[in-house]
Chain A
Amino acid sequence: MKKEDHKVQKFDTRKENDLFKTLILTSKRYKLWVAFLLLVILIGLFAYYRQLKYGLVVTAMRDYTSWGVYISNFVFFVAISLVGSLFSSILKLNKNEWAKPLTRISEIIAVSAIICAAAIIIVDMGRPDRFFNVIRYMRIQSPIIWDVIIISTYLVVSFLLLYLSVLPDLALCRDRLKDIPKWKKRLYKITAINWSNDPEQVRLLHKITKILSIAVLPVAFAIHTVTSWLFATTWRPGWDSTNLGPYFVSGAFMAGAAIIIIAMYFIRQNLKLKAYIREDHFDKMGKLLVLLSLVYLYFNINEYLGPAFKMVGVEGEHITELFAGKYAPMYWLVQIGGLILPIALLLFKSMRKPLPISIISTLVILGAWFKRFLIVIPSLQHPYLPIQDVPESYRHYVPTWEEWMITLASFAWFLLIITILIKLIPALPVQKHDHVSKSNPILNLIKNES
């Protein structure tokens, strides 16, 4: 199609205009961004090819540190995925109206994060072709099996959460978007499953949305608690704690809120949605982030105070390593830069403006990622039953370039899923189906088509 022929379709309302415009127009910047992400993924795929060919020996993981950067990354993505439930369940059920426009973003992030988490587990397996043996010869006593079950369940639940909220908008896309390729039209037609704003449809959708928003809460708590049990049920210093479940869950909500703020900032800037993602959204998210960070700080103090006071044996060695040993710089950067400083800064109203709060949230996210590294790796280097005459390489863990590239590729993959999804579905809800049923019962969309 020639450029001059290309007229941007006009819509009835300003909101539709603003939100649908990004679905029709593809900017050069968008294409460049996708190309960049694909490039990172390709390099990651090459690293993974090397890992498949030569085995896990290309990583720095050895007998002591058998869970490396992959598993810390996995825990990070599981944490991020919890954000879907924060918005679609906790804030929704508490009738926080302001959070409604952000629900879609949170659900998109949840879906892409849980996909990445599931994929990283496969990457961490030395023989991914034997994955189905995990199911075939499963031992229900193993926390790893609990994790496999809960992750696959949460994957489905996250998809459903996103789908239920996006369904009326998919129908709207099907009916309103004219200037789009055929495959997109087909996609909207199939995914909109004959949605026509029929009162009965609206009633049923309301019903299942409510059921799901209640059901997702225990699943979300379970997914991260079970992930924490992978550690809590393994006999290593630093993990031998009853605090681990709530510690992980609270950390997840904090990281989730931070990533939403970053996503809000980029979507607001790039999709020009300043009228919909307003400054007071950032302000409220800032307050929420402070609250969640304070809860996480509380569990952090719980987690470290006891062992640090007693300094018993290997547990003491582990604490020394974190507080004053080789992991001390990372530990204090994470605790101060990623937790205490953000809390202190976000107490000021001027810091809760879009740009400053996005920078602070980036600090929180970086802190959250390295915090998972600190939870997984130093513990593994202090086994309760040391091996005799261990090779020097077992005592240290510095990830290889293959591990870093695969990890970076997982981030690129995460961002790519979000990038593609916000190109396919409106980043904010266009139709408020709660209003439709009252003020405008049937929007006869079939008529509009013909």
Chain B
Amino acid sequence: MKANYNIISSLKLGLAIFFLFFSTAVVLAQDSDAMEDANIVLSFVDDASSHKIIAKATDKNGEPIADLDLYFYVKRTFSNLPFGDVFNTTDEDGTVAVDFPKDLPGDHEGNVTIFVKIKDSDLYNDQTIETVKNWGVPTALDSTTQKRTLWAAGANAPIPLVLIISSLIVSIWFIIFYIVHILVRISKIRSIKT
């Protein structure tokens, strides 16, 4: 009984070790085989009526990649704003064209940062391509933040306010120090006499 038991358990152990090696090998093989970097080239079409961004995806052999989902974003203050359709999939030439909205605010020169991304593809690694284009509506700098206002930082406090408060503080503390000074004089009167 005991011998039988030993044989069965060593068989089980052997089987387990075999599966472990086998599955590791499969996973390693998948990784090295399946995922590769796609090559994306962006071109921009500017005309009076629209801004268009055309992305062309090719694989490592230079062959166009069809049916690849690309994601288009424009950088905003707190997060990225997606643009284009819900899915922007490359055609058999590996290209996809997306309209860029004309009314997005850019920086003070009208520059916007555009991201084109591959995300969660089964065949290609994630990647992000970043470009800056002068396609936004220029926004005037909010100059009030640089000015002396009630809502500015402490260093930009309005001068009249600073002057009024400082003069009030100085006058009352001048009186306080004067009184303390007289108290010191009072304390010295006896010591002079003795």
Taking CB atoms, residues of chain B closer than 8 Å to A141 are 150-152, 154, 157-158, 161
Bound state CA distance, A208 and B177, in angstroms? 11
Q: Which of A137-168 contact B (CB under 8 A)?
A: 137-141, 146, 149, 153, 156-157, 160, 164, 167
**Is A140's CB under 8 angstroms from B154's CB?**
yes
Bound state CA distance, A196 and B192, in angstroms? 12
Taking CB atoms, residues of chain A closer than 8 Å to B176 are 153, 156-157, 160
Taking CB atoms, residues of chain A closer than 8 Å to B162 are 140
**Is A212's CB under 8 angstroms from B175's CB?**
yes
Other-chain residue from A153, A194, A218 in contact with B191 (beta carbon distance below 8 A):
A194
Whether B187 is near chain A, meaning CB under 8 Å from some CB there, is yes
Taking CB atoms, residues of chain B closer than 8 Å to A137 are 154
Other-chain residue from A139, A198, A204, A446 in contact with B182 (beta carbon distance below 8 A):
A204
- Closest A residue to B187 by beta carbon equals A193
Whether A215 is near chain B, meaning CB under 8 Å from some CB there, is yes
Other-chain residue from B165, B189, B190 in contact with A140 (beta carbon distance below 8 A):
B165
Q: How large is the interface on A (under 10, 10 to 19, 20 to 34, 35 or more residues)?
A: 20 to 34
**Is B179's CB under 8 angstroms from A212's CB?**
yes
**Is A201's CB under 8 angstroms from B175's CB?**
no
Whether A219 is near chain B, meaning CB under 8 Å from some CB there, is yes
Whether A195 is near chain B, meaning CB under 8 Å from some CB there, is yes
Q: Which of A204-220 contact B (CB under 8 A)?
A: 204-205, 207-208, 211-212, 215, 218-219
Q: Mark B163-174, 1 if CB is under 8 A from A, else 0.
A: 001001100110
- Closest A residue to B149 by beta carbon equals A141
Whether B25 is near chain A, meaning CB under 8 Å from some CB there, is no
Whether B153 is near chain A, meaning CB under 8 Å from some CB there, is yes
- Give the 5 A-B residue pairs with the shortest CB-CB distance, closest first: A193-B187, A194-B190, A139-B154, A140-B157, A208-B179
Contacts from A to B (Cβ < 8 Å): 137-141, 146, 149, 153, 156-157, 160, 164, 167, 193-196, 198, 200-201, 204-205, 207-208, 211-212, 215, 218-219, 222, 446
A-B contact pairs, 9 of them (CB 8 A): A141-B154, A153-B173, A160-B176, A194-B186, A194-B190, A204-B182, A204-B185, A211-B175, A212-B179
